[in-house]
Structure 1
Amino acid sequence: IRKNILFVAFALGMLIPLVIIFLRETMNNKVRGRKDLEGLSMPLIGEIPQFDQKKSGLFTKKVPDLKAVVVKEGSRDVINEAFRVLRTNLEFMTEKGKKSNVIVVTSFNPSSGKSFLTINMGVSLAIKGQKVLVIDGDLRHGSASSYVNSPRIGLSDYLSGRMDRLNELIVPDKNHKGLDILPVGTIPPNPTELLFDDRLRQVIDKVRECYDYVLIDCPPAEMVADTQIIEKLADRTIFVVRAGLFERSMLQELENIYNEKKYKNISLILNGTVGNTGRYGYRYGYRYGYHYGYGSDKKREVSEWVSNN
């Protein structure tokens, strides 16, 4: 009897984890990896593995995640190789020169890691000798601005007319020659209205001629109209899909956006994948929420403006 009890206990110990794993996989409706994207028509230009700040010794409660620059000159680890592939594809897309060098980076979901990717793409391009400007186009949160300690003046102050000299607002990166950051500055109460102003076009026209690449970190595309307004002045759009966050049912919506050419020259980055990465095991996460508070009238007004411009 004792042997039978031990056998049953052993069998249950083996079976229960398998059942749990099966149920988790069956109920998982999120994008899990590259295979889930095979049905999309849009080009996939990069796949970035997860990054674990704790394992890399970068974790601290006082330092924002965005300050975690994982791209290192000469490093041959998995995540650096992934960024090299991404950089090569970016260079291929923009090989015609500065006429196509303004790139919007956005997503459907908050917490997709687009600010992290934008900064590290900028570092990767700067390491290769390119002159790069990262613009924090999220006037509501200024996430990318934290990389340069969120200066009090920046893009919003220029758009509002409080500052007239754009070059005085651009912050050179002390650690990477050739990389500059244009922070948000003052978080405005009326970000969409500021973006309507023609001064945004003046900003893009000025920096386009001065930099090899201009990367604009924007809010999630379908949450507010900010990204659609900025995208009208850019040359191409990169959507970030976060593995484990983006629902597979939304892939068709992404395909529709691509087929309808709602945004110019769309490409895709798959972020936060987990695979056989050996000892590297990259993982990272963002914890901030978007609370925009737009009413239906404001959404209608913005949508009409975007469709007519």
Structure 2
Amino acid sequence: MSHPLTILGIESSCDETAAAVICDGKIVSNVVMSQLIHQKYGGVVPELAARAHETHMIPVVTAALQEAAIEKTALHAIGFTQGPGLLGPLLVGSCFAKALACSLGIPLIGVHHIQAHVLANFIDEPKPNFPFLCLTVSGGHTQIILVKDYFSMEVLGETQDDAAGEAFDKIAHLMGFSYPGGALIDRYAQGGNPQAFTFPATHMAGFDFSFSGIKTAFLLFIQSKTPEFIKANRADICASIQAVLVRMLLDKLTKAAQKSGMHTIALAGGVAANSYLRQQLKQLAEKQHWTIFIPAMAYCTDNAAMVAITAYYKYPLKEFVGLAAKSFPRYPIG
């Protein structure tokens, strides 16, 4: 009797230390430890992130194995985020994965961070059929991707400057929110009027995005207001700026869907956890007659379950990497 295919996934691309175990295609544990040290700096400090990963890695992996009720000797392979991401944090995760795989005599599977976000849509049922469009929105990336197969993906459009998630966090910082502030904008916006204030959307050619202009416009808006005004109108300000950012994302997605003829649409990335984006996408899907797929909240922000599911699909292809494997470049994703 053969043992079920069991893979450990490790994620360390930024400031989340995460480990997950997948057994015969089912996620049986998913542990994430966040790094609170970055809050006082208003953003991720790479050196501090790397040191925190060093501290957290063994406890997180141990917890994932214990939650899955397996011994490390039962593992068939180890998948790890090979890039893109912050170099120091990636090195910590890759070195740990390489050392553990070497000690166990099992193969290593390098995982592309953005592919993993896309394939998070295959963790739970229902799962999308190929081909489909995926709007991938995170702190470091904003892309519209044509997903032809598990590992055949084409970027149709992407940000030409800042990512949408980075724009959310910088806008939150201007509002005086602690890092990461994107979730706080979402929370306050739920009690506000999205039409209370007007902010200029940036229009790019094709399916590309630009979020630097709206950040500048928001900065000028905040500088023109008193702290008392901002506090009194916090909910309306958050709702208004969030509505513009989401509209910019969905306008391009609609354009890409119409041009490509796609009616199956998926969402991925940390910003996919934004409640307003999820709500607006569902309403748009009804209007456009789309079938949509949105990962569970736990699989939107950086996590190891998405790394594990990607490694699971790579394993039969024997897409293994050696101990000298280097980080993936940011592009291409395919």
> Is this a same-fold pair by TM over 0.5?
no
TM-score by length of 2: 0.32
Q: Which has the larger radius of gyration?
A: 1
Whose strand fraction is larger, Structure 1's or Structure 2's?
2
Structure with greater contact order relative to length (CA < 8 Å, sep ≥ 6)? 1
